[in-house]
Chain A
Amino acid sequence: MQHSKNTNEVDRTRPIALARKAITALVVMALTGILGWTVWTLPPYSDRMQNLVATHLPISGVENPVTAVLLNFRGYDTLLEIGVLLLAAVGVLSLAPTQVVPAETAPQRIQMLLLRLLPFIVIVAAYLLWVGKYAPGGAFQAGAVLAAGGVLLVTSAVRFNQLTIQSIPISLSIGLLTFLAVALATMIGGGNFLQYPLPWASMLILIIEAAATISIAVILTILFLGRKPDGEYPPKTNGG
């Protein structure tokens, strides 16, 4: 992804740059052509995984096949994914600029609008979380909607109270921690890692998704902002 920065090549001229573009274009076009041809000649019908999911759906604890794959059949992927999110948030926080000039707080009417909008955002997120059991929805959709509210809050430079600021590490990691706790509990209960006992599967998935929703929302907001949100006046001088 990085350019090689050869200082002895400062005399590179325009034709070379053009040739480089042409070669890149040719390679990319060849790749695109091969991929396109592969897509064109794909067998029109493949249902192996689909059937696997369909036959195992009754023991997954949910009725939406996508949720079943995400939280049950391939729960391990989702566990790692929440770990990736947490790592990204930690990475962004540690790359955050050390000196930030606090932004002007948004005009009063925008803040009023926000206050009226936020309850709806929370309701929509809760609905998406709940509906994920049997229809498209779930932790990621709900978390993204909540994060939209978070982004609105931070872009209008709303100050959060100290309790909110101090609870950020908890809200960042609660999704991963809950997921891990459930995974370990299923092992202690005699099953395998992340193998939910059937009577509990539905409830366990909902608990994991609820915790994940909170973490996803806070993490996405921080990824957008690129640093810790501002606390109340006077702005605390923090080191990230």
Chain B
Amino acid sequence: MTISLLYALVGVVLLGMGLYRLVIDPHLVKKILALNISGAGVFLFLVAVADRTPGFEPDPVPHAMVLTGIVVAVSATAVALGLVGRIREIKGTAEFSENEPE
């Protein structure tokens, strides 16, 4: 097992952790955080997989994809946070549990 493979597997685990939290957590900001952790997992995975052959240069295409992906993730996060801010302004809360009445 190479170190890159280990990183890729860590990326997969991060993706899973983020997905779980995204579904479970009732708080919108925590959902956004969870989505970002998932995203970090995907980026880690892509960067690691690009470098999985020892003795060769890393594949630049996934690296370029990650660079693009990070920027898009940041943009999406910012817009999502803006929306959550607005929701909190109107609703008074950003937490929506299915167990509690509104």
* Given A70-B64, A74-B64, A77-B68, residue A220 in contact with residue B74 (CB < 8 A): yes
Is B72 at the interface (CB under 8 A from chain A)? yes
Interface size of A as a range: 35 or more
Closest B-chain residue to A223, C-beta based? B78
* Given A4-B98, A35-B12, A95-B83, residue A85 in contact with residue B52 (CB < 8 A): no
- Residues of chain A within 8 A (CB-CB) of B16 are 28-29, 31-32, 35
User: Which positions in B face A, CB cutoff 8 Å?
Assistant: 5, 8-9, 12-13, 15-16, 19-20, 22-24, 26, 31, 35, 45, 49, 52-53, 56-57, 59-61, 63-64, 67-68, 70-72, 74-76, 78-79, 81-83, 85-86, 89, 96-102
Q: Provide the main secondary structure of the chain A interface.
A: helix
Beyond A46-B59, A70-B64, A95-B82, 13 extra complex contacts between A and B, CB < 8 Å? A2-B96, A3-B97, A39-B12, A39-B49, A42-B52, A47-B56, A50-B60, A69-B61, A87-B75, A88-B79, A91-B78, A92-B78, A226-B81
Q: Is the CB of A39 within 8 A of B59?
A: no
- Residues of chain B within 8 A (CB-CB) of A81 are 68, 71-72
